[in-house]
């Protein structure tokens, strides 16, 4: 009987520890996922508002196709807009949506003329509903588009 | 000997459970109780007059300012963002911006009013703030020369 109690107690401890480790590994149930797509920037258009020429308040709109991380197969599309913030620093503030198989991911944050940036994932729909995390935005070496690297927490 | 083993096993179970409960409680409280208070110096705010001449729906407001710690003494980061004029009669704008602080950034979206304070939604973040939700109180100081940003992060 005592041996049975001892074994039972040990079993309970093992189960509790295993469950705890499993939960910790998923950030309290929110698993981390990496998605890498390539945007071909074929439709980007600047709308000149306010003073003629590059100035705060100018608009940038786009609706482009998204390809897999090898830039080979089309896997989705995006659309969005930016507002020119600071012409000296070359900064824009942007929001857009990325339509992917099974849902969509929305992002917001800075875009720069001359260097890469990191944006916030603000939500989504479908399989990406309630998503959070961040997205690396990196210009391709030939300037034809951008890497979107989503670090998703769902 | 057997009695000692049983007591040791039971003690181990109690200690494990107590430890997990304590961490679970601290984890939950950490996700719901964080407040971050910074003060923005509104030195670069600029209105871009679009559409009808003068104050009209669709006008833009852009900025890229420094933010200070809650004692308004030391630079704690910066921000950038924009608003679109919604109703001149009601003095309303709809805004989005990113605030960079130590360890990451926080994005917000919501209403800004000419003559009263407001609360905006936290839409996401990067780095240490990649998974955040919550709201941000926006309080005018010195007639709009500065603003309290009080992030209530969950």
Query: Which token pair is B134?
Result: 């919550």
Domain boundaries, chain A: 1-30, 31-153
pLDDT tier, B19 (very low <50, low <70, confident <90, very high otherwise) = very low
Q: Among all chains, which residue has been given the structure tokens 């705010």?
A: B45
Residues of chain A in contact with residue B80, where contact means CB-CB under 8 angstroms, are: 85-86, 91, 93, 110
**Confidence (pTM):** 0.80
Condensed to tens digits (0 to 9), the pLDDT of residues B92-112 reads 999 999 999 999 999 999 999
Q: Is the pLDDT of residue B6 over 60?
A: no
Residues A112 and A91: beta-carbon distance below 8 Å: yes
pLDDT tier, B7 (very low <50, low <70, confident <90, very high otherwise) = low
A145 CB within 8 Å of a chain B CB? no
Residue B30: what pLDDT?
Answer: 43
Query: Among A30-34, A96-100, B19-23, B39-43, whose mean pLDDT is lowest?
Result: B19-23
**Closest CB from A50, A108, A153 relative to B107:** A108
Mean pLDDT of A135-153: 97
Q: How far is B59 from chain A (nearest CA, A)?
A: 9
Residue of A nearest to B125 (CA): A120
Candidates B58, B124, B98; CA nearest to A59 is B58
Q: How far is B15 from chain A (nearest CA, A)?
A: 10
Residue A17: what pLDDT?
Answer: 40
Report the phi/psi class of residue A50: left, alpha or beta, with left for phi > 0 and alpha for psi in -120 to 50: left
A118 CB within 8 Å of a chain B CB? yes
Residues B85 and B94: beta-carbon distance below 8 Å: no
pLDDT more than 90, % of chain B = 79
Backbone φ and ψ for B27, nearest 5 degrees, come out as -65, -45
Residues of chain A in contact with residue B3, where contact means CB-CB under 8 angstroms, are: 2
Q: Among all chains, which residue has been given the structure tokens 């992030």?
A: B151
Q: How far is A66 from chain B (nearest CA, A)?
A: 23
Options 1.10.10.10, 3.40.50.300, 2.40.30.10, 2.40.480.10; CATH of B34-153:
2.40.480.10
Q: Is the pLDDT of residue A93 over 80?
A: yes
Q: Is the pLDDT of residue B5 over 80?
A: no
Query: Which token pair is B17?
Result: 């459970």
pLDDT tier, B32 (very low <50, low <70, confident <90, very high otherwise) = low
Count of CB atoms within 10 A of residue B19's CB? 12
Candidates B97, B85, B92; CA nearest to B60 is B85
CATH number of the domain located at residue range(s) A31-153 in this protein: 2.40.480.10
The ipTM is 0.78
């Amino acid at each position: 009987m005592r041996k049975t109690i001892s074994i039972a107690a040990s079993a309970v401890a093992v189960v509790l520890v295993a469950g705890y480790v499993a939960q910790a590994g998923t950030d309290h149930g929110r698993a981390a996922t990496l998605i890498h797509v390539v945007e071909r920037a074929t439709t980007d258009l600047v709308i000149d508002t306010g003073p003629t020429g590059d100035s705060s308040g100018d608009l940038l709109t786009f609706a482009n196709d998204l390809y897999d991380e090898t830039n080979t197969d089309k896997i989705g599309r995006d659309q969005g807009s930016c507002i020119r913030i600071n012409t000296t620093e070359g900064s824009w503030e942007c929001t857009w949506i990325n339509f992917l198989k099974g849902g969509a991911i929305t992002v917001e944050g800075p875009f720069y003329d001359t260097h890469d940036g990191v944006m916030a994932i603000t939500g989504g729909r479908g399989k990406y509903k309630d998503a959070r995390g961040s997205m690396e935005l990196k210009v391709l070496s030939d300037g034809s588009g951008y890497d979107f690297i989503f670090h998703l927490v769902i | 000997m057997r009695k000692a083993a049983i007591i040791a096993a039971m003690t181990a179970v109690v200690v494990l459970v107590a430890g997990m409960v304590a961490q679970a409680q601290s984890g939950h409280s950490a996700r719901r109780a964080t407040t971050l208070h910074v003060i923005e110096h509104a030195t670069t705010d600029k209105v871009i007059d679009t559409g009808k001449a003068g104050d009209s729906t669709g006008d833009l407001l852009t900025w890229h300012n420094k933010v200070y710690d809650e004692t308004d003494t030391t630079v704690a980061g910066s921000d950038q963002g924009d608003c679109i004029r919604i109703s001149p009669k009601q003095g309303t704008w709809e805004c989005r911006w990113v605030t960079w602080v130590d360890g990451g950034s926080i994005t917000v979206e919501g209403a800004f009013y000419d003559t009263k304070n407001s609360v905006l939604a936290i839409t996401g973040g990067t780095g240490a703030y990649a998974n955040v939700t919550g709201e941000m109180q926006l309080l005018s100081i010195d007639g709009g020369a500065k603003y309290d940003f009080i992030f209530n992060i969950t």
